[in-house]
Structure 1
């Protein structure tokens, strides 16, 4: 304890080391020996942490930043500050990938079927399958444009349905919802929130939702904040997968999108909104609560 106090004061330049050792009745040589061991131990820990950072960075799709690397280290039992993680990442020459700026892509239909905004930017739910949201994004392949439609559960941010195809007709979004319905089998009338794109305001989509007892909810046209969760997902998808390589064809895009969503995003990727749990871990926590309450 005395050596630690001397080190703190010495680092601040308040008193000379010799003076403090004499006043605290410890040897100067003993202090410097303790200090050298302390520095060596920190260097050893830095080496360990840098190895883990390299592993997380290399094994994660895209380029995880300081916060996500810090969360992975904490989950593994390594209690270090974000500042230290930043310093070690800088020493390794690695950094997170930043998303591209948002661009408006929503096009309203000529005769939209109206629906209220049942979300009102309240992007949370008390249980799974209360509120879903979705949207469409585009990806350039060597053979032309491809499109991804998603369904995200607002409780856990889990992607519960998705579809990739070379068109963006209404069937693209209903295919994604079909996957969500089969996988989740909601017991109550789930809310599905989207923007006012042509697909989501079409007569066919309104009929589909009535048939399957889905409550439609629409944000405003071109206002990204009204469907922020879906927009945020697409920013992550493009940052961590799409912008990392060229895409020769639709088949390749489907294959990698499947792996990225089902194996990485839902199962492995930690979300700041969820306290740096994965969607799967977050939903497992909900099921545990239900079992304890039963």
Structure 2
């Protein structure tokens, strides 16, 4: 019998904030968080009540509804139906330039070698015409790719380079190379955010006991909830530092727990891990890896691991590669979002980071390790979490 999932109050407040404070559609926010829309609606109503009974419900996963590839392929199939060839009626008696224009418009639908004999022209004359008028010819498919490039750049907040743009176009049934994608980006006047340096926050100068490195850089796991990694970073605001702790499932690279606050104490990492436990409900024996920071060596944190049968693991001192997945996530967060913002308050930064994690990174960002799928979509395609929780 599958256990019903539990959600922390912090998770519910974050979910409510996406709708009430950031203006997202309730159904979209629920889908990206893996919730039933009715449950999220109930949380919103309960948060507005004063009966003291808010946040009583549980939720369950709902599938993402991203079917751009299928829609694109269906559209191409419809265009191949015989009725579309009727558009050529009347062309045979018109000037060759009109016929050549028709061939150019539909050359991605039917082969040039097939259309030319049917329309009474030769392929060599058509290609000569095309070469003479190359600067004036408008390719509808080329223009469509440029529009998709611009849309993807806008939606990703200018974080997609040529590699991810290629994957986007391929998913939309445009079989372009990475070089072609780069050329299209240049033509579409699309720019990409560059990387900025940042420093680590780990304080490993303490005398508390540390865990042995059980993970040993084995980041490629076959199932969810076999290994999680954790880390802490910080974000500057006009009010001071905002600290962020995250928990990431190595299987899908999904952020399964997070916590933010103005103080970098043990409670911060414990709250993030507690959220992950409530959401995923893992079995005993799960390896939870972190650096040797004092927060992860605290008595409070160790008790949390013991009470849930989790196996603690820590990186070697000063070896960032032992926790490379968490470091990589923070690099993406800062390169793609934080370094391009000027937060006035901690609340503003918290809402923006929440938006990045739930509405972009987990739900839509194409991850190279996942063969350019988002973490949520990768899990939905490959595993039923209810069966492995």
Shorter-chain TM-score range: 0.7 to 0.9
Question: 2 CA distance for matches of 1:30 and 1:142?
Answer: 64
- Partners of 2:224 and 2:385 within 8 A in 1: no
- Partners of 2:200 and 2:233 within 8 A in 1: no
- Partners of 2:362 and 2:376 within 8 A in 1: yes
> What displacement does 1:287 show?
2.2
Question: 2 CA distance for matches of 1:215 and 1:27?
Answer: 69
Alignment gaps of 5+ in structure 1: 1-25
Instruction: Give aligned pairs, total.
Output: 266
Q: Deviations over 1:230-283 (max 9, x none)?
A: 000000001111112111112112211111111111110010001001111111
Does residue 67 (structure 1) correspond to residue 157 (structure 2)? The answer is no
What's the counterpart of residue 269 of structure 1? 365
RMSD: 2.3
Structure 2 counterpart of 1:127, from 186, 207, 223: 223
Q: Deviations over 1:193-222 (max 9, x none)?
A: 111111112222112211121111100222
- Partners of 2:196 and 2:339 within 8 A in 1: no
What's the counterpart of residue 110 of structure 1? 206
- Partners of 2:130 and 2:137 within 8 A in 1: no
Please, what TM-score do these two structures have when normalized by structure 2?
Answer: 0.64
Structure 2 counterpart of 1:47, from 125, 143, 151: 143
Structure 2 counterpart of 1:212, from 308, 314, 323: 308
The alpha-carbon distance between structure 1 residues 261 and 218, as it changes in their structure 2 partners (threshold 3 A), is same
Alignment gaps of 5+ in structure 2: 1-121
The SS at the match of 1:134 is: strand
- Partners of 2:201 and 2:234 within 8 A in 1: no
What's the counterpart of residue 161 of structure 1? 257
The SS at the match of 1:100 is: coil
What's the counterpart of residue 247 of structure 2? 151
The alpha-carbon distance between structure 1 residues 289 and 251, as it changes in their structure 2 partners (threshold 3 A), is closer
Question: 1 CA distance for matches of 2:158 and 2:266?
Answer: 30
> What displacement does 1:229 show?
0.2
What's the counterpart of residue 194 of structure 1? 290
The SS at the match of 1:192 is: strand
- Partners of 2:284 and 2:308 within 8 A in 1: no
Question: 2 CA distance for matches of 1:27 and 1:86?
Answer: 31
